[in-house]
């Protein structure tokens, strides 16, 4: 019984650390992205648009699991900032295709470099072996969570 209690305490501590690290990382990313004049949700949408061909508003909503109204608001902001362009579909006049502009691509290049620097800072003092082990453990935890989710 004592052994199980000690294990549970270790697990609880690890989960608290994990959640804290996750929050700190999110705050750090949001802070850096905001310096570029955009919000994280705008950045996520811009990445999706950049990695998609002929994507439309409905597809964006489905991929990001948000409402069409939320997509419309964010697209308007991205378009007014010159980061995306919309063009009417040749096949369906009711549909617009959304593409990234050169300005949007440049912003994504900047954020990629920014994130690389943040990642290096984030893992400063952590060895490659530590990173490999963490990846292995997180993969096991992910698998366990997926298994439990599939049971529901």
As a whole number of angstroms, the distance between CA 131 and CA 126 comes to: 7
Q: Which domain holds residue 89?
A: 2-151
Contact (CB, 8 A) for 116 and 108: no
> Which CATH number characterizes residue 125's domain?
1.10.10.10
**pLDDT value at residue 132:** 97
**pLDDT value at residue 149:** 78
Q: What are phi and psi of 108, to 5 degrees?
A: -65, -35
24-43 burial code (b ≥16 CB/10 A, e <16): eeeeebeeebeeeebeebbb
SS3 35: coil
Q: Which residue has the tokens 């893992």?
A: 123
As a whole number of angstroms, the distance between CA 32 and CA 43 comes to: 11
* Overall number of domains in the chain: 1
Q: What is the share, in percent, of the chain residues with pLDDT greater than 90?
A: 80
**pLDDT value at residue 92:** 65
- Other CB atoms within 10 A of residue 49 CB: 24
pLDDT at 66 over 70: yes
pLDDT at 2 over 80: no
Q: What are phi and psi of 97, to 5 degrees?
A: -95, 140
pLDDT at 151 over 90: no
């Amino acid at each position: 019984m004592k052994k199980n209690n000690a294990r549970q305490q270790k697990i609880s501590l690890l989960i608290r650390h994990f959640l804290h690290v996750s929050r700190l990382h999110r705050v750090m990313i949001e802070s850096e992205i905001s310096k570029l004049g955009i919000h994280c949700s705008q950045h996520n949408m811009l990445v999706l648009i950049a990695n998609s061909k002929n994507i439309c508003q409905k597809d964006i909503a489905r991929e990001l699991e948000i409402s069409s109204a939320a997509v419309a608001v964010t697209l308007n902001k991205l378009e007014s900032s010159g980061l995306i362009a919309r063009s009417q579909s040749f096949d369906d006049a009711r549909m617009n295709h959304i593409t990234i502009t050169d300005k949007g691509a440049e912003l994504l290049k900047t954020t990629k470099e920014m994130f690389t620097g943040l990642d290096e800072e984030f893992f400063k003092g952590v060895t490659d072996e530590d990173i490999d082990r963490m990846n292995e453990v997180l993969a096991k935890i992910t698998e366990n969570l997926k298994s439990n989710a599939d049971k529901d």
